[in-house]
Structure 1
């Protein structure tokens, strides 16, 4: 019995990714600290070009050497310690699911909530943990009370799941869903803010704003849009799927009312993890997407009534936060922006090549779109993979037509060199074919 009690107590320690026994503390903490001590004299922008440091970071990932993955905008791989955490707790769960999940691992959600809130710069009572940005944003889209005639303004360049959610509400409830359209890249905040403001009518209740346009990587002036909306008494819902864990910011500083994100993108958390932030005084009025016994309550946890969930994934989020914090938000942002600029600047002047993304730091970071005259987007996407084993994604959406390329902290310069070589070679072939 004594051994049994000690065993259960040790399991309690294991539930916290933020304890002294976390996988990150065991595997990386000392080495990270030692490495960063030698780099203290470097600014984040300078460290972005320090290949010794990033080679050290790259060792924490297990990505396949047979594929150059440049579609991290879709979903990013997790570091090894995150994968091991999920595997460890999945095995534990299956030793006695209802006991280990509900009585042991479930206790790890509150420390996780605190750490997510710390990273987001907000009150922990404003954070709900769920499965992805679609679930987070749909919670607000379907949970906020609107009546027939109420207007929501978004854009044609928003994510399809969000567009379809608003269209569904329009069909069901008779709300008016208005979409603006932008030709990106745009390097003028006022142009974007003014477009939203001019579209506002007396019936406008909410603006739906995508923080980074997932198709081409345009960073939207969210704080300025929110400040403008506040003057008109209008709420703002922000789709932050591609910014949390990438850009160095705090959610409350945006000035929005609601924010949803996927954690399995640039935070490198386990696949199928997300987060919802709702300004504290707004929680009560939002209905949960899934039933809860207090649907009009003020407890943010009412949005987590999902039934049986993956507790191992939640524990893995904690280790992803540890890995992210060790790098540092600003260092990470600057490195990924450097990688984007590294390859785009080398091909932007190649005849026939077009970059569909701004080169200015205020308007882009990780994602960039590229196209080649004489090749369809499908042909370019296919050629990059079949000839060079470079995995990207072809984008044909509204007025956007390009191949999206998205590196991450584990991306090596030599792999981007292959990307540059591939673009130059394909552009030359396309030009020769036309002539």
Structure 2
């Protein structure tokens, strides 16, 4: 539907568009995962009837509001929730005998094998953490920084990671150099050059956020790493939002140190992250938590932080099965379609400004906008109270406030139609 036509329909309240593709009745109910396998391909990207049936089978989400804030954590599909509940019951029933014997001797190995296969990394290069922030802190604080070492950050990196370096600025005397990124970049070269221009012979490390949490912009991580590596500069990658969201394997990033969230797009229960260290670099990191019992080249020396949640870990194979059923290429294509569906209309709405690049390689599910005529808090509250759409405010550089929108696989074009209707009406207030 052309922009003007869509906006005219929104203006008169006709917010539900016809399904693209077959009708829902043409999709036979599928109760088992086996029945859904092989059903996902790129031709389904815009088929609303297909995704409506998919949602009905695989998700149990509230209908009290439309959740377009899926960047916080991922809603677990039913199969993962069921596995999680059964694992809680099992661990509680079998208690410490299970944890000390069966889990360690039998059940933990499939978890790690699954993560290795899904991530593309070797099992001995991976460490399960409680979230990406913990993983990245272990990496950041594990490097033997010396006074005067320079670290390059950009002002859109995740605040907790910036604070980790700010702590080292106080305790170890490192020097932080901050660069400003354009909201809508001209090219990968422009972005790489910004980091390169900030480098000196004292630069020790660059932090790069693969998919920026504020706006959804995708950074050219490998190009930055390829520029920095010949100069002996470490690149630490914050992949909290990109893992199982974009179609890549961890080694594809070309970096030795990566932190990941598993409770976002991988759809594991809340409280699970993943850390990657290239095998030959493990020995170069010092433990953040006290440990003297492991070999210096064993990644487990970095994970002496106590007991993890056994039921959470046990869901990993089921979460991977779900992602592999949908396939990451199809998942990425569907999420980008939903984002493009609403962002392409922003240019036709007075007072609305999109702050996310929409070129395919530069963004996916997440996008951010602002209304020049209303404060961001008011926009968020009005979208929720008046239109039943839940979003979140993000604080951008230079004290700019904006609204982040993040659909998920259970989202539909009718959901984002509701968002667009709200934006259109609020833009006229």
What residue in structure 2 maps to residue 288 of structure 1? 287
Query: Does the CA contact (< 8 Å) of 1:76 and 1:268 recur in 2?
Result: yes
1:139 counterpart residue number: 138
Q: Determine if the alignment matches structure 1 residue 29 to structure 2 residue 33.
A: yes
SS of alignment partner, residue 35 of structure 1: coil
Matches within 5 A, 1:30-109: 30-33=34-37, 35-36=39-40, 44=42, 46-59=43-56, 60-106=58-104, 107-109=106-108
Q: CA deviation at 1:317?
A: 2.3
- The 2-side partners of 1:188 and 1:145 are apart by 34
Pairing 1:272–2:271 present: yes
SS of the aligned residue for 1:30 comes to: helix
Aligned to 2:319: 320
- Give the drift of 1:109: 2.3
Count of equivalent residues? 397
The C-alpha deviation readout for 1:167-226, integer Å capped at 9, x for no partner, is 001111111121111131213111110110111111111110000111001111111000
Equivalent position of 1:369 in the other structure: 368
Matched residue, 2:250: 251
CA contact under 8 A between 1:369 and 1:402: conserved in structure 2?
A: yes
Distance in 1 (CA, whole Å) between partners of 2:259 and 2:160 is 13
Q: Could you tell me whether the CA contact under 8 Å between 2:115 and 2:316 is conserved in 1?
A: no
Deviations 1:303-342 (CA, angstroms, capped at 9, x unpaired): 3333222000011122111100100011100000000011
Q: 1:225 maps to what in 2? A: 224
* SS of the residue 2:360 aligns to: coil
Q: Does the Cα contact within 8 Å between 1:285 and 1:296 map onto a contact in 2?
A: no
Could you state the TM-score of these two structures normalised by the residue count of structure 1? 0.88
Deviation at 1:34, TM superposition (A): 5.7
Q: Runs of at least 4 residues of structure 1 off by over 4 A? A: none
Measure, in 1, the Cα distance between the counterparts of 2:395 and 2:242.
22
Instruction: Give, in whole Å, the separation in 1 of the partners of 2:31 and 2:171.
Output: 52
1:272, distance to aligned residue in structure 2 (A)? 1.0
DSSP-derived class of the 1:348 partner: helix
CA displacement, residues 52-109 of structure 1 (integer Å, 9 cap, x when unaligned): 3322332311111112111111111111111121211111222242112222234322
Q: What is the Cα deviation at residue 407 of structure 1?
A: 0.6
Q: Shift of the alpha carbon at 1:258?
A: 0.5
CA displacement at 1:282 relative to structure 2: 0.7
Task: Compare 80-89 and 363-372 and name the one that shifted more.
Answer: 80-89
- Between the aligned partners of 1:182 and 1:84, the Cα distance in structure 2 is 42
Separation in structure 2 between the aligned mates of residue 101 and residue 149 of structure 1, nearest angstrom: 46
Residue 262 of structure 1 is matched in structure 2 by: 261
Instruction: Flag structure 1 segments of 5+ consecutive residues without an equivalent.
Output: 1-25, 37-41, 431-435
Matched residue, 1:119? 118
For 1:398, the equivalent position in structure 2 comes to 397
CA contact (8 A) 1:126 1:280 kept: yes
Q: Report the Cα offset of residue 131 of structure 1.
A: 1.1
* Deviation (angstroms), 1:136: 0.6
Using the TM superposition, give the Cα deviation of residue 230 of structure 1 relative to its aligned residue in structure 2, in angstroms.
1.1
Residue aligned with 2:308, SS: coil
Give how far 1:296 is off.
5.5
CA-based RMSD: 1.6
Q: Check conservation: 2:206, 2:235, Cα contact below 8 A.
A: yes
Task: Give the Cα separation in 2 of the matches to 1:387 and 1:135.
Answer: 38
Mapped to 2, the partners of 1:389 and 1:101 lie a distance apart of: 44
SS at match of 2:365: coil
For 2:234 and 2:305, how far apart are their aligned partners in 1?
A: 27
C-alpha contact (below 8 Å) 2:38/2:325 kept by paired residues = no
Mapped to 1, the partners of 2:152 and 2:294 lie a distance apart of: 26
